[in-house]
Amino acid sequence: MAFAAAHVRLRGFLLLRAHVLKTSLPRLYTVAISSLEATQPLEPGASVGEGATWTAAVGGVGGVSHPMAPKKQVRSWEEHPEYRRWKNKEEEILRDIEPIMFLTKDILHSDKYHDGERLCPEDEKEVVEKLLAYHPYSKDKIGCGFDSIMVDRHPQFSHSRCLFVVRTDGGWIDFSYQKCLRAYIREKYPSYAERFIKEHFKRT
């Protein structure tokens, strides 16, 4: 009898122990997982239980790996379409006016003509058609009638020379070739004239 009672108690103890282990296992597993989560770094923007993924603790700030941002393509201002359009037009205007500019400077600053000398027919034709015709007050300059173009000392600045319109009555009056060029550019290139004049002419 005593042996049978002891056997029953031992069996009951073993069954109870097995039950305790069985019911405790999920909790222990959960605790282990929680401990593991506490030691692993999260990716930026992730949280536990919301699809969080783990990264190896190498590189980045605080052991977190960050993806490399793509490099921005910085565009040179010289490649901007508006700038390129301006430069192309600037070159076009220069090609247009440079021949008459060079001729005028040669007339005024070289020894090709002496003070009070009238221009040769070829030079006079260029000056009349490409300069005088565009002067804002060309009609007033011509007055009673056009006779010729002359180069002489400026009436107010004797150290410099300028062009003169010689009238049919024998009188003459000076005119600015730069005023003629500015008026020509404004008429032919209205959208770019002011910018060109500001950058290429000292006086307005």
Q: Tens place of pLDDT for every residue, the chain, 204 residues?
A: 555 555 555 565 555 555 555 555 555 444 444 444 444 554 554 444 444 444 444 444 555 555 666 666 656 666 688 899 999 999 999 999 999 999 999 999 999 999 999 999 999 999 999 999 999 999 999 999 999 999 999 888 888 999 999 999 999 999 999 999 999 999 999 999 999 999 999 764
Which tokens belong to 165? 């319109």
Tokens 């910085």 locate to: 74
Q: What is the pLDDT of residue 146?
A: 98
Q: What is the pLDDT of residue 136?
A: 96
Neighbours of 134 (CB within 10 A): 19
Q: What is the pLDDT of residue 14?
A: 56
Q: What is the pLDDT of residue 4?
A: 53
C-alpha span between 113 and 109 (Å, rounded): 9
C-alpha span between 189 and 142 (Å, rounded): 26
Q: What is the pLDDT of residue 107?
A: 98
Lay out the sheet containing 117-118: strands in order across.
Answer: 117-118, 146-153, 161-167, 172-175
C-alpha span between 22 and 29 (Å, rounded): 12
Q: What is the pLDDT of residue 23?
A: 55
Q: What is the pLDDT of residue 80?
A: 80
- Helix, strand, or coil (residue 101): helix
Contacts of 94 (CB under 8 A, 6+ apart): 200
C-alpha span between 37 and 60 (Å, rounded): 20
Helix (H) or strand (E) holding 136: none
